[in-house]
Amino acid sequence: MAKLTIEDLKRIKEQVKKDTALREGGATVKITVHMGTCGIAAGAREVMDALLQEMAETDRQDIRVVTSGCMGMCSSEPNVTVEVQGHDPVVYQGMDANKMRQVFKRHVLLGEVQTDFALARMKEESPEEGSAEQET
């Protein structure tokens, strides 16, 4: 493989800057990959890898990916929470790379909740903790 240089990085940066300038605006979708010890052991990194590939292929600049710790439901890891602006957050369970691709393509991009892997729909921004509402 040819050695990467700082010039390569500068070129990529200029391209990214140009693309971003065309589509300014805040994030409207937030995807949280839960990466406690349990999530990592269950395969959260592969889920994140798949998400990274999907992100690289989309033009959407309004999607934010974050990681967080364990949410206490270790047996259903890897868990991923998708929050689309104006809708209740949805927690997905037992995720793998393929399920992540499907959730990204269908829920994140098209707004169709993938109920087959959904664990719960959370009440949005409730002041009290633990307001998960079991849905499936």
Partner 1 sequence: MRELALHIMDIIENGINAGAGLIRLNIQEDRRKNRLRITIQDNGRGIPREILDKVTDPFFTTRTARRVGLGLSLFREASKRCGGEFKIDSRPGEGTTVEATFQMDHIDLAPMGDLTGALTTLMMGSPEVDFLYTHEIDGRRFVLDTREIRETLDGVPLNNARILKFISDMIEGGVEEIRGLQEKGGEGIED
Of 49 and 112, the one with the shorter C-beta distance to partner 1 is: 49
Least separation in angstroms between residue 80's CB and partner 1 is 12
What residues between 92 and 131 interact with partner 1 by CB under 8 A?
none
Question: What DSSP element (H or E) covers 47?
Answer: helix 44-57
Instruction: Round to whole Å and give the CA distance between 36 and 84.
Output: 23
| Residue selected from 27, 28, 30, 40 as contacting partner 1 according to rule CB under 8 A | 40
Please say whether the beta carbons of 32 and 80 come within 8 A: yes
Among 15, 85, 131, 136, binds partner 1 (CB under 8 A): 15
Nearer residue to partner 1 within complex by CB, 3 or 86: 3
C-beta of residue 121 within 8 angstroms of C-beta of residue 104: no
For residue 11, report the phi and psi dihedrals to the nearest 5 degrees: -65, -45
Footprint of partner 1 on residues 17-36 (CB under 8 A)?
17, 20, 33, 35-36
Query: Rounded distance, CA 4 to CA 125, Å?
Result: 44
Distance CA 88, CA 136 (A): 15
Region at 125 (left for phi over 0; alpha for psi -120 to 50; beta for the rest): left
Stretch that binds partner 1, among 43-51, 86-94, 106-114, 119-127 (CB under 8 A): 43-51
Shortest Cβ distance from residue 125 to partner 1 (Å)? 19
- Residues at the site binding partner 1, with contacts judged by CB under 8 A: 1, 3-4, 6, 8-10, 12-13, 15-17, 20, 33, 35-38, 40-41, 45, 48-49, 51-52, 55-56, 65-67, 69-72, 74
